[in-house]
Structure 1
Amino acid sequence: MIRIFRWLLRIFGALVCLGLIGLGIGYWFLARSLPDYSEDFTISGLSAPVEIVRNSNDVPHIFGSSDADVFRALGFAHAQDRLWQMTVLRRTAQGRLSEIFGERTLATDAMMRRLDLYGIAQRSVQAQDEQTQAALRAYADGVNDWIRQINLGARGRGAPEFFLFSNEIAAWQPADSIAILKLLALQMTSKAQDEVLRARMSLILSPEQLRDILPDDPQAPVMALPKYSELAPGVVPQYTPIRMAEDPLSPFHAAPFAGASNAWAAAPSRSAAGGSLLANDPHLPFSAPTIWYLARLTLSTGSVIGATIPGMPLILSGRSDGLGWGLTTAYVDDQDLHIEELSADHPGEYRTPDGWAPFRTERSIIQVKDAAPVTITLRWTDNGPVLPPSQFDAGTVTPPGHVMSLSWTGLQENDTSMTAAMGLMRAHDKTEAMEAGRLYVAPAQNLMLADQDGIALQTVGAIPARDARMPAQGRLPSPGWQPENRWQGIQPYENNPRQVDPPSGMLGNTNNKTVDRPFPDHVSFDWGDTERIQRWLSLMDAREVHTRESFIEAQQDTVSTTMRTILPLIGADMWFTGEAAPEGTPERMRQRALELLAAWNGDMNEHMPEPLIAQAWLSALQDRLIRDELGPMADQFAHIEPVFLERVFSDTDGAAAWCDVVQSAEKETCTDMARESLDDALLWLSEHYGRNIESWRWGDAHQATHDDPVLGNLPVLRYLVNIRQSTSGGDDTLNRGLTKARGPDPFLNVHGAGYRGVYDFADPDSSVFVTATGQSGHPLSRFYDDLGGLWRRGEYVPMSLDPELARAAAVGITHLTPP
């Protein structure tokens, strides 16, 4: 027996040793792809030596004697830190994800082929001006320089993910950068989904109910619309649930996740130090690493510093010595769906204003890992590509004998958005910056500007010119053969919203409505915010003059206007009513919750229980109000709709009718619905977080999900690559943390400010910025998540153009030298 025990002990010890050796070998192989930031390289094609100085936060400061050399070095640095991320973005735009991920991404690939984003990007290269083409070529050369080093130097295949998936890395091309910009444009619009949703709702709701659940901005009159059944006869209401894009690799997002942002600026007259101020925090889905990458470029027109996206040679939000710029999603109505009638005699033809015409068709083969290739037929009409019925659930509102096509500004051939963005980096003041925006096509953005003398807000991007006779006004799918439904080109750039040096000295945008113009000059009917702008106005008006610190304070503000407005309405008949209930009863829990909420100021602080109670209550209340009318379609309204709840509990235009459950014999009141919803919410919370209300924390439920989109769902690896942080804020706070709203963890923070910057032109080198994770995409790097803690705590790192400051604390200096 002792001998057996000894042998078992020896075998166990041997297995442990073998395991440790295996882990050591695995770590050695994976660590080989970590770049040495102090390594020097000989690079053919450079005109002179280039320095890449990585400061203490791994932010590269690039110094070269020509712009081409600087852009080449940026491509090199991007590839060193984010090659896998860049490869996935490129494959997404090309429709080639399934080659490495299999059938999981087949639907995404098929849709990307139908849109032909990559083909349009290839054809757009020659449309760029000479400087931009040179920059794109130099940047691609820099990426390929690093790929060449990987192939020659046994550098762990370039990233750990290449050990698990295909390690074939095609050479980078100038079109790849344009394709990534178009991919960003696709991610930041949801107007097609909005049209399908409105059409589905119009088939099952009265016009009054539709106005309640899909309201226009309350500051504008509601526009009358035709019934969708009149536009598309033969459509039968379908109640199948909306299929949301759950795959993190998918670029298609519903409205709440389709891009947001904050930006505001103060003129010198409203600045305590006498210099213009600008703050910007773009909102996109969270990931690890974040999509953003900080960099400084020394160009012939002056140094620029700020946020880039790996794959593009652009500072998208940042500053130079004399100009700062930031971006917010403009919510331009840049997409229209068209119902195309098929010929009964010739299936390959569709109806046009001039009769029947053939589709433009092409066959495309999608290679699928571990499966047979899939061949799809791509079809285009004069209005745009034909969508499959599953995309946006368009098939649920498409009449028999018809298909749906998409018009979108992002499909414009010869897209010069890259040239516009390059011109912005080279601009010296707001006037030059606004002129550069003339060439911008997609995504439509609000460009916030600040220079030494003043501030400006300019909407850039193409706005469709629609016919004033268009019955649906671009809000519903419309017959594509009717001339009045077709686009009449693009509106003149001079029609885009613009504000320069307003008398108030303050400009701001939180995706709120920028103009109130009648159709067809309306810009949009659906905006991204009605709540954050109210909080911003109160914070800005609270001070006569502002400082960098007051702008940071506003960026970090977590007070919810929604909670301050809605809770008094829904609890009007519930506060302090009834006798004290016995401990341990549901009634006592309800009373305790109401006591906490009555004393709460609406601050969505991660350490408090009140935000969790309020969020769960309003979510349960909204679902209870709409579930009987909408059935499974209620799932589409998972996020709290503040304007809807305010209309119901204020009984605006009879909206309180939503409180009555249609199927029940009794007539329920809004107070009944509020009370029962609170009980539902408290029951759910007690099951998940225990019965002690005081121990609940919003941050436990509202964790920021900086997850790896590829490895983040794999056992064991998920704990190494995903970055989870307890966070404050909520759906409608300036420090926005949009909740997932679905699934077993509905309050996870999945979308927000992955980048924050505050630029102070009284002392430009005191400007600051930060990203949500870190610079490196390598999980073994110390720069993978080092900025995440600062981001969570509301801290920043210096945004200085002083080269000596960068060198003083450099973690490495890379020299690129010509032979």
Structure 2
Amino acid sequence: MAQVFHWLLRITGGLIVLALLALFAVYLLAARSLPDYDARHSVTGLTAPVEIVRDNANVPHILGQSDADVYFGLGYSHAQDRLWQMVVARRTAQGRLSEVFGTRTVETDKLMRRLDITGAARASVDALDAETLEVLRAYSAGINARLAEINERALGRGAPEMFLFNPSISPWQPSDSIAMMKLLALQVTGHLETEVRRARVSLVLPDAARLADILPAAPGSGVAALPDYASLFDTPLPRLAQAQPDAAPPALWPVARPGLQGASNAWAAAPKRSAAGGTIMANDPHFALSAPALWYLARLELSTGGVIGATIPGLPVILSGRSQDLGWGIAASHMDDQDLFVERLNPDDPQQYETPDGFRAFDTRREILRIKDAAPVTMTLRHTQNGPVLSGSDFQLGTVTPQNHVMALGWTGLNREDRSLAGWLRLMQARTVQDAIAAIEPHVAPSFNLVLVDGVQIAMKTIGHAPRRDAEHQSQGRMPAPGWQDRNRWKGLSPYGSNPEFIQPPGGILGSTNNKIVDRPFPLHVSFDWGDTQRVQRWTRLMQSRQVHTRDSFIETQLDTVSPTARTLLPLIAADLWFTGAPAPEGTAERRRQDALTLLADWNGEMNEHLPEPLIYSAWLRALQDRLIRDELGPLARDFTHIEPLFIERVYRNVDGAGAWCDVIQSAPVETCTDIARQALDEAVIWLSETYGGTLESLRWGDAHQATHDHPTLGDVPLLRWVVNIRQSTSGGDNTLMRGKISGQGPAPFENVHAAGYRGVYDFTDPDSSVFILATGQSGHPLSRFYDDMGELWRRGEYIPMSLDLDLARAAAVGITRLMPR
């Protein structure tokens, strides 16, 4: 027996040793792809030496003798740190993910093939001027130089993910960078899904007048009543299908879920509103959180001077940053740049669709979709005069498409003469607000509110192509409309000069929190659906509470976690519940409700990660909205994953009879809004107890509101997920200036999934005192110390210097890379 035990011990020990050796071998293989930042390389494509000085935060400061060589260095740096991110993004745009990931990304590839972003990008190359094309070629050459170096020196395939998926990597082309901008535009815009949702809700609501409650317009002038969606067609709609809730999106789906499209904060103060007499600007773009972050910090020393700020790997431009003379930042404008067109098929020939001039054949082409470990799929892609034809399974379009019709998408992002990058390259060389506004005119999509400051001026300009619609458009672009009706078709594009523009406002402060910025009648309206009606209230108060501002007051505003929504809604929904009812014994439902109300009564609306009140409030509002809408919308109610503050306010103020939502249609009694509020609070308290346990006082918002920086391709893999995913307890919420948008679904509905992956504050009194930060780190390599080194600073609301002082960068450099012409 003892001998058996000894052998078992030896076998176990041997297995442990083998496992450790295997782990060590895996580590060595993965570590081969860690970049050496302190090196000298001979590369093809340079005209003169390039120096890349990486400061102590691993931000590359790139110096060369020509602008083309500097952009070469940026491409090389992007490929050093974010190669896998760039490979996946390019394959997403191309519709070629399934060649690597198999069947789970087939639907994603099909959508991207239908949109043909890559084809539009390739066509756009011919529209570029020589200077822009030179930059894109130099940037591409820098990426390809890194690829060649990886192959020549066997550098672990460039990224550890390459060992698991082993994709083929073709050389980077200028069109790939154009496609990256179009892919970004697809993530920012959301009007396609907004149109579908409005149509679906229109079809299921018992009272069509209630559509303005659940999908309210932003405050401002009233909007004319929309037609009943079904009345636009003489063919029955699929009445049974429209009640189905949205299914989970396919893997690596490139379109943001409703409510999670691009957002941002950007604002500026003129010298008269600055304590030190110079302009100040703050910017924090909001996108889905990921590891690594979407953004990458860089400094370029161009012939016109240094520029520094946030880039996106794959794009050779700084989208938010500054030079010595100019600062710029972006916020999603929510311009309505998409329309769905319902195309009627010829009953005698389904290969034709109706136009104002009669039936016309679809433009068609066939493509083969190759799938790893599965048979290839042949797709027939169709295109109408209005845009590409989408599948009925995309965005649940089949639920709002009449029989013998198809749906086509009109979108400015599909422009085939896209010169957006030319505009950004010129903006980076501009010195004044006026120069920048003129330079960025070629930008097509995504549409942004571009906030600008120079030494003495501030400005905001909406950039991006705006479709020109007919004043008689049947749905005003708010729902899908018949594509054979001439009045529903686009009439070209609006002139750049008609986009909203604000220069040197009298009050000395301007900005955007994705709020409604103009009040124009249709069709000059910009949009009916804006991204914010709440944060702007808090921003206005903080901006106007001071006569003058400083860099620190802008930082304080950027990190503010007070919810104006909570301050508005709680007094409404709890008006008849606070401090009412007889004393109740410990442990009863009545006592738990009273305890929750007592905590909320003393709360100031601050969504602080260490407090219980934000979690109680959020759980209550989530249960309340669900109870208000479920009887009217049925399964479709599950699509409303986020609280709509204007809806709840309309209901509890009974605006235009909106209080009718409180009565449950299926029940005999007539429920009041107070009844629903009480029931929702009881439900929320029970859910909190079952989910988190303990007392209400012991709850902590940060435990539920974890920032989920997940790796897009390895984040769900057992064991590896603990290495590649980053989790952080965070403050803020959907409607705070330090925005942390919740997922709104699944077992952890309050996880923070959409926030400011980049923050920057630019002070032109002393430009080198400007600051910025990323949500994770510069590197996309999980074994790098720069993978998540900025994460804790970001969580705590700290920043790193945003300086153009090269001596400062050299003083604590983690490495200097010298690229020499081969």
Please report the TM-score for the alignment, with normalisation by the length of structure 2: 0.99
Residue 430 of structure 1: aligned partner? 433
Residue 84 of structure 1: aligned partner? 84
Which amino acid in the other structure matches residue 260 of structure 2? F
CA distance in 2, matches of 1:806, 1:435: 33
1:758 aligns with 2:768: no
CA distance in 1, matches of 2:423, 2:224: 34
CA distance in 1, matches of 2:155, 2:572: 61
Residue 528 of structure 2: aligned partner? 525
1:724-772 Cα offsets, whole Å, 9 max, x none, are 0000000000000000000100000000100000000000000000010
1:425-466 Cα offsets, whole Å, 9 max, x none, are 111111111001211110011000010011000000000001
Residue 116 of structure 1: aligned partner? 116
1:734-813 pair list within 5 angstroms = 734-813=737-816
Residue 218 of structure 1: aligned partner? 219
CA distance in 2, matches of 1:556, 1:128: 40
Residue 148 of structure 1: aligned partner? 148
* Offset at residue 527 of structure 1 (A): 0.3
Residue 264 of structure 1: aligned partner? 267
CA distance in 1, matches of 2:242, 2:677: 26
* Count of aligned residue pairs for this structure pair: 819
1:370-403 Cα offsets, whole Å, 9 max, x none, are 1000111100000000010011111111111111
Residue 164 of structure 1: aligned partner? 164
2:326 maps to which of 316, 323, 326: 323
CA distance in 2, matches of 1:515, 1:319: 27
Which amino acid in the other structure matches residue 400 of structure 2? V
1:73-125 Cα offsets, whole Å, 9 max, x none, are 10000000000000000000000000001111101101101111000001111
Decide whether the 8 Å contact of 1:267 with 1:275 is kept in 2. Answer: yes
1:655-681 Cα offsets, whole Å, 9 max, x none, are 111000000000000000000000000
Which amino acid in the other structure matches residue 224 of structure 1? A
Decide whether the 8 Å contact of 2:469 with 2:489 is kept in 1. Answer: yes
2:293 maps to which of 290, 295, 299: 290
* Secondary structure at 1:439 match in 2: coil
CA distance in 2, matches of 1:44, 1:526: 49
CA distance in 1, matches of 2:181, 2:572: 44
* Offset at residue 239 of structure 1 (A): 3.9
* Secondary structure at 1:588 match in 2: helix
CA distance in 1, matches of 2:303, 2:616: 55
- Cα separation, partners in 2 of 1:469 and 1:222, compared to 1, 3 Å: closer
1:818 aligns with 2:821: yes
Residue 67 of structure 2: aligned partner? 67
1:529-571 Cα offsets, whole Å, 9 max, x none, are 0000000000001100000000000010000011000011000
Which amino acid in the other structure matches residue 217 of structure 2? D
Residue 194 of structure 2: aligned partner? 194
* Secondary structure at 2:755 match in 1: strand
CA distance in 1, matches of 2:166, 2:380: 27
* Secondary structure at 2:449 match in 1: strand
1:14 aligns with 2:17: no
1:638 aligns with 2:641: yes
Decide whether the 8 Å contact of 1:610 with 1:698 is kept in 2. Answer: yes
Which amino acid in the other structure matches residue 350 of structure 1? Y
Decide whether the 8 Å contact of 1:456 with 1:498 is kept in 2. Answer: yes
Which amino acid in the other structure matches residue 171 of structure 2? A
Decide whether the 8 Å contact of 1:245 with 1:253 is kept in 2. Answer: no
Decide whether the 8 Å contact of 2:200 with 2:243 is kept in 1. Answer: no
CA distance in 1, matches of 2:208, 2:514: 26
Alignment root-mean-square deviation, CA? 0.9
CA distance in 2, matches of 1:45, 1:539: 51
Residue 676 of structure 1: aligned partner? 679
Which amino acid in the other structure matches residue 356 of structure 1? F
Residue 457 of structure 1: aligned partner? 460
Decide whether the 8 Å contact of 1:771 with 1:787 is kept in 2. Answer: yes
1:361-440 pair list within 5 angstroms = 361-440=364-443
Decide whether the 8 Å contact of 1:232 with 1:398 is kept in 2. Answer: no
- Cα separation, partners in 2 of 1:556 and 1:170, compared to 1, 3 Å: same
Which moves more between the two structures, 664-673 or 236-245?
A: 236-245
* Offset at residue 254 of structure 1 (A): 2.8
Residue 656 of structure 1: aligned partner? 659
Which amino acid in the other structure matches residue 152 of structure 2? L
Decide whether the 8 Å contact of 2:760 with 2:771 is kept in 1. Answer: yes
CA distance in 2, matches of 1:681, 1:560: 19
1:602 maps to which of 605, 614, 617: 605
CA distance in 2, matches of 1:663, 1:261: 41
* Offset at residue 471 of structure 1 (A): 1.7
CA distance in 1, matches of 2:737, 2:507: 21
CA distance in 1, matches of 2:522, 2:247: 30
Residue 34 of structure 2: aligned partner? 34
Which amino acid in the other structure matches residue 719 of structure 1? W
1:232 aligns with 2:236: no
Decide whether the 8 Å contact of 2:203 with 2:242 is kept in 1. Answer: no
CA distance in 2, matches of 1:741, 1:492: 39
2:303 maps to which of 300, 304, 307: 300
Residue 446 of structure 2: aligned partner? 443
CA distance in 2, matches of 1:271, 1:244: 50
1:184 aligns with 2:184: yes
* Offset at residue 232 of structure 1 (A): 2.2
CA distance in 1, matches of 2:702, 2:96: 38
CA distance in 1, matches of 2:124, 2:715: 35
* Offset at residue 248 of structure 1 (A): 5.8
CA distance in 2, matches of 1:742, 1:598: 27
CA distance in 1, matches of 2:691, 2:199: 37
CA distance in 1, matches of 2:252, 2:306: 34
Decide whether the 8 Å contact of 1:245 with 1:252 is kept in 2. Answer: no
Residue 706 of structure 1: aligned partner? 709
Residue 555 of structure 2: aligned partner? 552
- Cα separation, partners in 2 of 1:794 and 1:516, compared to 1, 3 Å: same
* Offset at residue 167 of structure 1 (A): 3.7
Decide whether the 8 Å contact of 1:37 with 1:811 is kept in 2. Answer: yes
CA distance in 2, matches of 1:718, 1:208: 48
Q: Structure 1 stretches of 5 or more lacking a match?
A: none
Decide whether the 8 Å contact of 2:105 with 2:251 is kept in 1. Answer: no
CA distance in 2, matches of 1:186, 1:226: 28
1:687 maps to which of 686, 690, 711: 690
CA distance in 2, matches of 1:589, 1:768: 46
Which amino acid in the other structure matches residue 208 of structure 2? P
Which amino acid in the other structure matches residue 226 of structure 2? L
* Secondary structure at 1:398 match in 2: coil
CA distance in 1, matches of 2:576, 2:262: 38
Which moves more between the two structures, 329-338 or 419-428?
A: 419-428
* Secondary structure at 1:373 match in 2: strand
Q: Structure 2 stretches of 5 or more lacking a match?
A: none
* Offset at residue 245 of structure 1 (A): 5.2
CA distance in 1, matches of 2:477, 2:563: 32
Residue 127 of structure 1: aligned partner? 127
Which amino acid in the other structure matches residue 646 of structure 1? E
Residue 43 of structure 2: aligned partner? 43
* Secondary structure at 2:741 match in 1: strand
Which moves more between the two structures, 14-23 or 635-644?
A: 14-23
Residue 622 of structure 2: aligned partner? 619
* Secondary structure at 1:432 match in 2: helix
Decide whether the 8 Å contact of 1:239 with 1:631 is kept in 2. Answer: no
CA distance in 2, matches of 1:722, 1:244: 25
Residue 102 of structure 2: aligned partner? 102
1:647 maps to which of 646, 650, 658: 650
CA distance in 2, matches of 1:318, 1:80: 22
CA distance in 2, matches of 1:816, 1:681: 60
CA distance in 1, matches of 2:579, 2:130: 71
